A = this chain, B = another copy of it.
Amino acid sequence: MMEADIFKALADPTRRKVFEKLAGGSLNASALRDGLDISQPAMSQHLAVLRAAGLVREQRQGRFVNYEVDPDGIASIGTWLARYRAYWPKRIAALSDLLKDMDQ
């Protein structure tokens, strides 16, 4: 929810991997463990941190809990980053165009 939580959440490499996986589409907690060599409780704890930070949101589906990227979290980072737009180098022009395109 706050910047503090967001940056703390993303400071951990495992959580960033999880978040990147979710960028490809929603997945349940077990599927997220694939290839990460991490225990089930550890994943559950990581997901709790990401959820508390507003970076992901969950959706119960039977016994499974599907996780997906929460656009609000992404927006928070964007808003924070916008404060430093005076320092964006020119070579980031391409990115800027991409962001513009998203609004259709």
Contact = CB atoms under 8 A, between A and B. Distances in A.
Copies in the complex: 2
A88 interface: yes
Interface residues of A, number: 40
A35 interface: no
Contact of A81 (B70, B81, B90): B81
A90 B100 CA distance: 10
A69 to B, nearest CB: 5
A85 B98 contact: yes
A37 interface: no
Given A83-B23, A99-B100, A88 B92 contact: no
A48 interface: no
Given A4-B13, A7-B10, A75-B92, 20 more contacts: A4-B11, A4-B16, A7-B16, A8-B11, A10-B11, A72-B89, A74-B81, A74-B87, A74-B88, A77-B77, A77-B81, A78-B81, A79-B92, A81-B81, A82-B98, A85-B99, A86-B102, A96-B99, A96-B102, A99-B99
